[in-house]
Structure 1
Amino acid sequence: MKCTILSVGTELLFGSILNTNTAYLSQQMVQIGIDVMYHMTVGDNPQRLKEMIQHAYKDCDLIIATGGLGPTQDDLTKETIADVFGERVVPFPDQLAILQAHFKKYNRVMSDNNLKQANFPEHASILPNPNGTAPGFMLEKEEKLIISMPGPPNEMIPMFEQHVRPLLEQRSDGVLYYKTLRVMELGESMLETQVMDLIEAQTDPTLATYASNYESTLRIASKRKTRAEAEQAVEQMVALVRERIGPYIYSEEDESISSIVFRYLNEHRLTLSSAESCTGGSFAKAVTDRPGASAVFDRSIVTYSNRAKVEELGVSEETLSAHGAVSAEVAEEMARGIYEVSGSDIGISITGIAGPDGGSEEKPVGLVYIGLCIRGRVQSFRYQLRNSNRQSIRGNAVVHMFRVLYRELVIDK
């Protein structure tokens, strides 16, 4: 089954509202085993909406539309779908009664324009909406199915899960199973090179590489009649990939490197503290964004100036003078300092040049040193990060801090 996901609303084109519906629905289609062919977004313009529906109707078996079911004059999704399908829009008395009861329940006055929310294409099947005033509907013609749901996610998602997903699971012509391998220290182009022959020869399973959040991922997917068959095909391909790039794969369960580090700290009852300079607290934020961080994370100190490094962490003025703030020696003293000040099992530090200014030929923008102190043993790691922009360098630096923890704790445990 081939699907188009159609989002309706001028506010989406303006960027006033983030279109999370498309991402959610695409993820659901993957799980069900339905191939998404197009993502379409169109404003509240009936002619352009009609053209989009006609295009999707021509190429796909399934159209899922969200938005444009409200009571206002520019909410014309129902009318446009009816036009394309050759249907009349007529009142549904039972839906009018439900709508009137909704307004009465909340002591609200029902205006005349709300009446259109009880009108539907005459052969439509209604999708109840207990969370709002706009029911959805389904319409089928010539083995083509269109499903129209309200735009607000708090209304659309329950409607999909309760009424739409069970129907689509019955109609799906297969089961799609996939695994996402997370890879570190291999860029997307190098990752692709390592598995290029498998990609070129692919039929099923399929392989696709992606780059996001300063790392690479490889998705392996198979669509078969049963989940067991699809899972077996994927696992066989994973084994082949593992032979090529096994040492670079840190997760076969689409788990972030920070999650793996956190689990290790929890399981081994270890505590962590950090001292940051160039990242300005970004590592601490990444840590404390996770629920339950207090079980493993004690504190963070941002020592941006040299004086702060000396006063808060005990970094030697002689070390700063001899090697500069951005150096392995200072990173190590920062790590030992936060380790001793906090009493944590692990102290991690970072110092570097996030730019755009401050770099030199010897120490260019993007140079960072990460210090690590584990139970009194101190070491440091040098990285030259790509000089893109300040925010990107900081984000990449935080990822490298987690990579250091992963390598030194999880791999070398």
Structure 2
Amino acid sequence: MNQNKAEIIAVGTELLLGQIANTNAQWISEQLALYGLNVFYHGVVGDNLTRVKDTFALANERSDVVIVTGGLGPTDDDLTREAFQLISGFNMIEHKPSMEKIEAFFAKHHSIMTPNNRKQARVFEEAIVVNNKVGMAPGMLVHYNDTIWIFLPGVPREMKAMMLEEVLPILRKELQLSEIIKSYVLRFIGIGESKLEHELKEIIDQQDNPTIAPLAQTNGVIIRLTVKAKEEEEAIIKLEQTKEKILAKVGKYYVGMNDETVEKAIINRLRMLNYTIASAESVTGGKFIEKIISVSGASDVCIGSIVCYDKSLKRDILHVSDEILESHGTVSSECALEMSKNVAHKLSSNVGISFTGVAGPNSVEGKPVGTVYISVYIKNKNHLVERFEFTGDRNGIRQRAVQKGFEILLNLLK
């Protein structure tokens, strides 16, 4: 493993104000980790020349690679170049190809280019210019006092393209980054972090390469497998072998890998079975269907939802019988089952799922806060209703209900 220390600095007051999240640093760290380059520091500094200069000076003392995002635009508060010039003394020149690109952009859009746009084409005379194929401001790579400095735009789509196409290949060559680090994220639902760790204790105790790191999240538990290898093929073989050992122990809780969320897994399963789904939501207020339709391709399997918060809607729209509503109430297994069946029939869907319960602040029909009934109905197949007692605040109870609905549904579809 190389011992180069990398640092990432984001320039922009909007980041300090919380108006924009600093997602660039996270993404860059992930990319550098793939090549075994250690990121030791993340920093954010506002649009102030003195503070930017001081931040750069500190980074130059402690880091071997510094990647700066932001502050390369045309306005007076874009100060990255000026701040670095103060500590390096490097001359700046106008990069002709970049200037021609900027002029062509304004000509194409029949706009008048203001003089300050020329600032975006200014680069250090000593720099390797990093071409910006997505936007206008070029990036730069320079060497100063044994530190590699990389300057990139703050716009994520521009920065990412430049990193992948030019910066990372240059760094890998200059720093001789032969070792790669590759990770799998395995997703599980219906099992807590402590139980998962207990089930995998023998495997975890023997871990070396890959390493195994369980981590609880709001939407389940993940295991991050991380391996070091010389080549990607070797890394994948080691990861797959460890994944097989883990699934042999806890495979029944497995959802998917990397970005395959439980919502995606359900949609894929519905598509494979040639099923469609509809929901009837009272306590969750549409949160279940919102998460389903946030997945690309959901329209293949998702019919829709009826949000039936009031008792009258359960009766008049979903046709839950007066007998059930009067004898058992809206917060009951009988009502939940009728809701799931009737929404499937009403919306001509193979699968119906329903949620009814009490999120608070007060009890309903004698049922305490946190009581939730979830029912899943699969036409001409089977159905179930389960009662839960969730804890937490109002929104937390609703979120937990949705997550438990996903778990029940995925298990039934399996």
| Coarse TM-score class (shorter-chain normalised) | 0.7 to 0.9
The corresponding residue for 2:82 is 79
In the other structure, the counterpart of 2:404 is: 400
Aligned equivalents of 2:75, 2:299: Cα separation in 1 = 48
| Aligned-partner residue type, residue 45 of structure 1 | N
> Which residue, 89, 92, 96 being the options, matches 2:91?
89
TM-score calculated relative to the size of structure 2: 0.88
- Please give the residue correspondences for 1:331-410 in structure 2 after superposition, counting only pairs within 5 Å: 331-358=336-363, 363-376=367-380, 377-387=382-392, 389-410=393-414
Name 1:304's counterpart in structure 2. Answer: 309
Contact 2:10 2:70 (C-alpha < 8 Å) held by counterparts: yes
Matches for 1:78-117 after TM superposition, within 5 Å: 78-84=81-87, 86-92=88-94, 94=96, 97-98=99-100, 99-117=102-120
Q: Give the equivalent residue in structure 1 for 2:284.
A: 279
Q: Is the 8 A contact 1:12 1:18 kept in 2?
A: yes
Preserved CA contact (<8 Å) 1:21 1:153: yes
1:7 CA drift (Å) = 0.8
Task: Mark the CA change 1:242 to 1:267 in structure 2 (over 3 Å): closer, same or farther.
Answer: closer
For the structure 1 residues 93 and 193, does the alpha-carbon distance in structure 2 shift closer, same or farther, using more than 3 Å as the test? same
Q: 1:351 to 1:96 in 2, by over 3 A?
A: closer
Measured after TM superposition, the shift of residue 380 of structure 1 is 0.3
Count of residues in Structure 1 that have an aligned counterpart in Structure 2? 407
CA RMSD of aligned residues (A): 2.7
- Shifted more, 343-352 versus 95-104: the winner is 95-104
Question: Equivalences for 1:190-269 in 2 at 5 Å?
Answer: 190-192=195-197, 194-195=199-200, 203-269=208-274
Is the Cα contact below 8 Å between 1:135 and 1:149 reproduced in 2?
Answer: yes
- Deviation for aligned residue 1:150: 1.2
C-alpha change, 1:107 and 1:394, in structure 2 (3 Å) is same
> Is structure 2 residue 11 aligned with structure 1 residue 13?
no
Change (3 A) 1:304 1:147: same
In structure 2, the partner of 1:53 is: 56
1:115-194 to structure 2, matched below 5 A, reads 115-170=118-173, 171-192=176-197, 194=199
Superposed displacement of residue 166, structure 1: 2.8
Relative to structure 1, the CA distance from residue 247 to residue 143 in structure 2 (aligned partners, 3 Å threshold; closer, same or farther) is farther
Instruction: Give % identity.
Output: 36
1: CA distance between counterparts of 2:74 and 2:362?
Answer: 54
Calculate the TM-score normalised by the size of structure 1.
Answer: 0.88
Task: Give the unaligned 5+ runs of structure 2.
Answer: none
Given that 1:87 and 1:121 are in contact with CA atoms closer than 8 Å, whether structure 2 keeps it comes out as: no
* Contact 1:6/1:66, CA 8 A, preserved across alignment: yes
Instruction: Verify the 8 A CA contact 2:98 2:136 in the aligned structure 1.
Output: no
- Residues 314, 188 of structure 1: alpha-carbon distance in 2 compared, 3 angstrom cutoff: same
Unaligned runs of at least 5 residues, structure 1: none
- Comparing 268-277 with 137-146, which one deviates more in the overlay? 137-146
Checking the alignment, whether the CA contact within 8 Å between 1:79 and 1:89 is kept in structure 2 is no
1:325 aligned residue: 330
Separation in 1, partners of 2:95, 2:281:
65
SS at match of 1:173: coil
Instruction: Give the secondary structure class of the aligned counterpart of 1:237.
Output: helix
